[in-house]
A = this chain, B = another copy of it.
Amino acid sequence: MTTATTTQESVINKEQLLRHWLGHRHLTRKTIEAFPEKELFEFSVGGMRPFAKLVVELLAIGGPALKNIVSRNTNSYNEEGIIVNTKKELLEKWDEETATIHGYFNQIPEEGFSETFKLFGQYEFPIYENILYFIDNEIHHRAQGYVYLRALGIQPPFFWERQA
């Protein structure tokens, strides 16, 4: 394990990174809410997964990944156990995982963010890089949901609305 972050060069602190992520989770929640029930689970473009399925991927990453990082558990990635059949269930699971993320994120010590960890027994990167990847992946799939909404004639939430 290496600690590459030096005092002098740091530009984003732990609380700022958490707030950034939670802001994105708030926007993703609003995006889920914007979908009609049926289209959330069935509609897609270009043979891609419906938005609910993309959100299940996000649910299988965020909370489980942070829990694994804190406990140094190398459990495999697994979305099979996440069963959601309605928008209400998906939103409840989303809120549950947001709370999980919040709790475990706070347990990572500042110096831990530059340590490397083999996430899901497979992705060996500094922890801060893995966390940026989780956020990027959420932005990426949510943006695909925006296209689905546009294709359905529905106005997506404003991209800059991040207030939790």
Binding site for B on A (CB under 8 A): 4-17, 20, 24, 45-48, 110, 113-114, 128-129, 132-133, 136-137, 139-144, 146-153, 159-160
Additional 10 contacts, C-beta under 8 A, given A12-B113, A46-B149: A6-B13, A9-B13, A11-B13, A11-B14, A12-B17, A46-B151, A46-B152, A46-B153, A143-B144, A144-B147
B140 in contact with A141 (CB, 8 Å): no
Do residues A11 and B17 form an inter-chain contact, with CB atoms below 8 A?
yes
The 6 closest A-B pairs by CB, nearest first: A10-B10, A46-B150, A143-B143, A46-B151, A9-B13, A11-B113
A110 to B4, CA, bound (A): 16
> How many copies of the chain does the oligomer comprise?
2
Report yes or no: A11 in contact with B7, Cβ–Cβ below 8 A.
Answer: no
Contact B137 A140 (CB under 8 A): no
Contact B7 A128 (CB under 8 A): no
In the assembled complex, the CB of A108 is this many whole angstroms from the nearest CB of chain B, namely 9
Known contacts A139-B136, A141-B143: does B14 contact A48 (CB below 8 Å)?
Answer: no
Across the interface, do B14 and A9 meet the contact criterion of CB distance under 8 Å?
Answer: yes
A5 and B11 contact, CB distance less than 8 A: yes
